[in-house]
């Protein structure tokens, strides 16, 4: 009896030390591939949503900064969203800058190198700048009516308590899956965030 038990144990030990069979390995690889195929899109989806939220928060921070500084200093400030003319997607930028006055001057385009921005004796002063490569997330501003002086610029004024532009909004969009948030500024200068497609958890659908 003891011999039979010992032989059975030896047989099981021998099978274990021999490792997995090719069929077992192939089954394991197939199961792993299925798990990866299910998990990767979900992870990519989550990652893009987080990037869109982070970018929207940066834009909100710039707008709130301009509004707060305008109220604190009683000086009108300009927030400009100059479209980058770069056609190469790997080099193109989304950008926003806060300056001390409106200008159509090319020297203050926010996509230019920071060292060359707003240079010159009569150029506005650069107060804040945010640039983002368009590889994963991009943002762009639009308005129903821009200020007459220059497009792609809004001006915060203390007397008006808001901005000089109508229907202003900034769309922040993921470049891979298209997840999007919209940053709006109402005439009173209040910043509102919503989801244009209504599919962004935690954010109301834009009206």
Residue 80 bridge partners (DSSP): 97, 153
Sheet strands side by side (includes 153-157): 126-133, 93-99, 77-80, 153-157, 162-163
Residue-level pLDDT at 1: 46
Q: What is the pLDDT of residues 40-98, one digit of tens each?
A: 567 888 899 999 999 999 999 999 999 899 888 888 888 999 999 998 988 999 999 99
**Domain spans of the chain, in order of start:** 27-194
Q: How many angstroms separate the CA atoms of 97 and 105, rounded?
A: 14
Q: How many angstroms separate the CA atoms of 41 and 50, rounded?
A: 14
| Residues in the chain, overall count | 207
Longest Cα–Cα distance of the chain, Å, equals 103
153-157/180-185 β-pairing: unpaired
Q: How many angstroms separate the CA atoms of 64 and 70, rounded?
A: 10
Query: Which band of pLDDT confidence, cut at 50, 70 and 90, is reported for residue 162?
Result: low
Query: Which band of pLDDT confidence, cut at 50, 70 and 90, is reported for residue 32?
Result: confident
pTM of the model: 0.78
| Residues contacting residue 195 through CB under 8 Å, at least 6 positions apart | 180, 181, 182, 203, 204, 205, 206
Percentage of the chain beyond pLDDT 70 is: 79
Q: How many angstroms separate the CA atoms of 4 and 21, rounded?
A: 26
Mean per-residue pLDDT of the chain = 82
Average pLDDT rounded to a whole number, residues 111-122: 83
CATH 3.40.50.2300 fits 27-194, yes or no: no
Residue 96 · residue 114 · CB < 8 Å: no
3-state secondary structure of 43: helix
Q: How many angstroms separate the CA atoms of 183 and 193, rounded?
A: 5
Percentage of the chain beyond pLDDT 90 is: 37
Residue-level pLDDT at 180: 96
């Amino acid at each position: 009896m003891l011999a039979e038990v010992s032989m059975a144990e030896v047989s099981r030990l021998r099978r274990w030390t021999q490792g997995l069979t090719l069929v077992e390995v192939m089954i394991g690889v197939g199961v792993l591939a299925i798990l990866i195929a299910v998990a990767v899109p979900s992870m990519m989806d989550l990652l893009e949503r987080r990037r869109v939220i982070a970018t929207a928060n940066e834009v909100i921070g710039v707008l709130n900064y301009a509004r707060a500084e305008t109220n604190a200093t009683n000086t009108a400030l300009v927030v400009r969203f100059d479209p980058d003319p770069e056609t190469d997607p790997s080099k193109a930028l989304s950008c926003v800058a806060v300056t001390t006055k409106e200008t159509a001057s090319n020297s203050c385009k926010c996509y230019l190198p920071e060292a060359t921005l707003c240079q010159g004796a009569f150029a506005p002063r650069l107060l804040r700048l945010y640039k983002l490569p368009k590889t994963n997330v991009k943002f762009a501003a639009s308005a129903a009516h821009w200020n007459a002086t220059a497009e792609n610029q809004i001006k915060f004024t203390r007397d008006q308590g808001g901005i000089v532009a109508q229907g202003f909004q900034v769309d922040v969009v993921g470049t891979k899956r298209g997840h999007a948030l919209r940053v709006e500024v109402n005439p009173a200068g209040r910043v509102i965030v919503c989801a244009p497609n209504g599919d962004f958890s935690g954010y109301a659908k834009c009206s």
